[in-house]
Homo-oligomer: A and B are copies of this chain.
Amino acid sequence: MYGYADKTFARQPQDTVPEYHGEEPSFHHTVDCVILGFHRTELHVLLHRFPYKPYKGHWALLGGFVTPEMSLDETALQTVQRLTGLDNIYMEQVYTFGEVRRVPTERVITTCYYALIRVEPTLEQLSPQYQATWHPLSQILNLDLVYDHPTMLRKAIDQLRLRIRLQPIGFELLPEKFTMTELRQLYESILDRPLDKRNFNKKVLAMNLLQKLEEKQKDTSKRGAFYYEFDADRYREYLEKGFLFEL
């Protein structure tokens, strides 16, 4: 029934070593990245046109093969770097997809990551060879993504939704200086529900992790809105004292 079912590496104790697994089957392993950016009140995903039949031209997450000298994390980072040119990307592993026929043409095991990046500085610098463009999250369902990429995307967003409430990772999606309105809209977009302006500001500012700047943003209103900065050092201090970020 299961050809290899009994070949657990724990099964038959023996003393011979190394390379004792040379006979075991092996698999192609790829990393697919849900690259997320926040643009004009909405969360966007960076997708590219899949270049291979039978899905040529369909939208897909960007991925890359794992190689012998790279870890999964490194592979993920490099995949995003190759496309965006960015260094210092915040990434997190989401899940590993290992169904036998998830890619019809062959067996591939794929680990999904999400990346949080700032859209603006990269908008014009995307490596043109990928034909990659940003898509608002709300319109992804119409796109007919490749393979199980819809499932990956869903899982990534679900995980982000949990994480963003307990860790200050939302700031990875905003420019260094941001307004309270931008921050709130970011959370509204990810949590997919409206948040009360006053309650939100109260809660965020009470954590005492934002530095209010003198400078005002004047793009979106005549009056202008104060910029704030996230104080990562202070966050680390607080962490050691047992502080818990929570929104």
* A interface with B by C-beta (< 8 Å): 2-15, 17-21, 24-30, 48, 50-54, 56, 60, 62-73, 75, 78-79, 82, 93, 95-100, 105-109, 111, 129-130, 162
Contacts and interface: CB of A to CB of B under 8 A. Distances in A.
A46 B221 CA distance: 61
Which DSSP category, helix, strand, loop or mixed, fits chain A's interface?
loop
Given A7-B67, A13-B56, A93-B96, 13 more contacts: A3-B67, A5-B67, A5-B70, A7-B64, A8-B62, A9-B52, A9-B64, A10-B51, A10-B64, A15-B52, A15-B56, A18-B106, A26-B28
Contact of A8 (B29, B79, B93): B79
B105 A18 contact: yes
A154 to B, nearest CB: 15
A5 B78 contact: yes
A95 B98 contact: no
Given A71-B99, A98-B66, A8 B82 contact: yes
B9 A69 contact: no
A108 B21 contact: yes
Nearest to A57: B13
A20 B71 contact: no
A60 to B, nearest CB: 7
Contact of A19 (B60, B63, B105): B105
Contacts of A73: 98-99
10 contacts: A7-B67, A9-B30, A9-B63, A10-B64, A15-B53, A17-B52, A21-B108, A25-B65, A25-B67, A73-B98
B51 A72 contact: no
